[in-house]
Amino acid sequence: MTMPRVLPAPADDPARLAAAAAEAAAVLRAGGLVALPTETVYGLAANALDAAAVQRIYAAKGRPSYNPLIVHVTGIDALAGVVADVTPLARRLAAAFWPGPLTLVLPRAAGIPDAVSAGLPTVGVRAPAHPVAQAVLAAAGLPLAAPSANPFTRISPTSAQHVVDALGDRVDLVLDGGACGVGIESTVVDATGERPVLLRPGAIGAAAIERVAGVPLTRAAAVAGDAARPAPGMIERHYAPRARLYAFGSGDRGRLSSMLAPSGVALDRPVGLIAFDARGLVADLVLELPREPAGYARGLYAALHDLDRAGCAVAFVEDLPPGSEWEAIADRLRRAGLQSLGELRTKAW
Ligand code: TXA
Ligand code: MG
């Protein structure tokens, strides 16, 4: 794979940031693709008003066109021409959480091409908080359609290197703004009605959404009963590394350490481990993540990318603590194909 052009876009160096944003804006206005950092994950951006440019996103990702994209804007004042209506609920949520990791699904404006919203009457919109994303949006003066900058079904990128490794020169320009601070994708909420509907859990928790909305939130699974195809974002095995992932709890540590021993079960090697505390466990690649959801989210995708880079066939993932603040992380691990350790035993023994 040939290298794309990569430009440093340091948020703490205004002159270089402005130069990088101006170059990105020129590529975007010409119908090109730019990978750029947001606070959640890196996005693969194109002019949301240019149907041909948007088609290039789907081609670069190998993504089926029934999966809608998120349109990024500078803020609530930039929604004219993107959405047909800003509901009172959307106004409240945007006032509380924008710029930030919250995507609002709203009725689509006529000027947004079908390709952006996969033909749905609605469109997802978000104002990112990352200074590089904001600088590019301001310089381009356009709404930018941007999904996560990963090939379809692979792990989302949280560094410019992840994008380069996965997409190569299928993207015209990569802006390197360092590692993403949040690390998992935005919370997606349908705000077309009076009650928020959670379509994808994310960095902003369901409880915080309910508090601002002032009404209980519903969950997408409960309303998707008559859908002809999986609701957008509900596709299983979505953010997956190549390794098969098995969950282990504190009661499994003894069994796990004997499985991992050279004389243990004949596992496909190399073997990876993602744990809060890896003491007493030996694996080919040991990754420790903090026992705190924001820190865990920040490190999760880099850890999954590391498993791929090390060629891990199998990896063991320590059970998450209970609590709703872990909901989005549990969702991503489930979509990464996490299975119970019991399933490994029946296969291997
Ligand atoms: O944090 C993020 O949201 C990142 C950064 C780049 O902003 N973007 C991202 O985009 O994760 P993507 O394309 O990988 O995920 C977009 C998801 C869709 O899969 C779907 O779940 C939801 O957003 N979505 C977008 N438009 C929608 C719509 N009109 N109706 C329902 N869901 C929609
Ligand atoms: Mg994605």
| Residue-wise pLDDT tens digits, 223-252 | 444 444 445 555 555 678 999 999 999 999
State mean pLDDT over 168-177: 97
Q: Which atom of ligand 1 is nearest to the CA of 126?
A: 7
Please check whether residue 68 is in contact with residue 191, taking contact to mean a CB–CB distance below 8 angstroms: no
Where are the extended beta strands (E) located within the chain? 5-8, 34-37, 42-47, 70-72, 102-107, 122-126, 144-145, 173-176, 187-190, 197-200, 218-219, 244-248, 271-275, 285-288, 314-318, 339-340
Residue-wise pLDDT for 62-120, tens only, equals 988 888 999 999 999 999 999 999 999 999 999 999 999 999 999 999 999 999 999 99
Higher pLDDT, 225 or 151: 151
pTM comes to 0.94
Ligand 1 atom closest to Cα of residue 150: 14
Ligand 1 atom nearest to 63, measured from its CA:
13
- Determine the pLDDT at residue 269: 84
Q: Which residue has the higher pLDDT, 13 or 237?
A: 13
Give the model's pLDDT for residue 268. Answer: 80
Looking at residue 49, its pLDDT comes to 98
Spatial distance between the Cα atoms of 244 and 268, rounded to a whole number of angstroms: 10
Residue 210 CA, distance from chain mean position:
22
Centroid of ligand 2 to alpha carbon of 330 (angstroms): 16
| pLDDT at residue 229, rounded to an integer | 47
What is the position in ligand 1's atom list of the atom closest to the CA of 103? 3
Q: For residues 185 and 40, give the distance between their C-alpha atoms in angstroms, rounded to a whole number.
A: 5
What is the 106 CA–ligand 1 centroid distance (Å)? 13
Average confidence (pLDDT) over 157-181: 97
The pLDDT value recorded for residue 224 is 43
pLDDT at residue 106 in the model? 98
- At residue 262 the predicted structure's pLDDT band, cuts being 50, 70 and 90, is confident
Question: How far is the centre of ligand 2, averaged over its atoms, from the C-alpha of 158 (Å)?
Answer: 12
Can you tell me the distance from the alpha carbon of 180 to that of 98, in angstroms, rounded to the nearest whole number? 17
pLDDT score recorded for residue 346:
54
- Which atom of ligand 1 sits closest to the CA of residue 72? 7
Cα of 214 from ligand 2 centre, angstroms: 29
Q: How far apart are CA 145 and CA 170, in angstroms?
A: 16
Q: Do 270 and 258 form a contact (C-beta atoms < 8 A)? A: no
How much distance in Å is there from the Cα of 66 to the middle of ligand 2? 13
Ligand nearest to the CA of 201: 1
pLDDT at position 232 is: 53
Distance of CA 142 to the CA centre of its chain: 22
Residue 187 has pLDDT above 70, yes or no: yes
Dist CA 176 CA 333 (whole Å): 26
Q: Tell me what pLDDT residue 2 has.
A: 82
Span from the CA of 148 to the centroid of ligand 1 (angstroms): 8
Residue 291 predicted with pLDDT over 90: yes
**Distances from the Cα of 193 to the Cα of 78, 107, 197, angstroms:** 21, 10, 9
For residue 225, the model assigns a pLDDT of 40
Nearest CA to ligand 1 atom 29: 123
pLDDT above 90 covers what percent of the chain? 84
Q: How confident is the model at residue 331 (pLDDT cuts 50, 70, 90)?
A: very high
Residues with CB under 6 Å of ligand 1 are: 38, 40-41, 43, 67-70, 101, 103, 105, 117, 120, 122-124, 126, 146-148, 185-186, 188, 199-200, 232-233
Would you say residue 335 has pLDDT above 50?
Answer: yes
Give the chain's mean pLDDT.
92
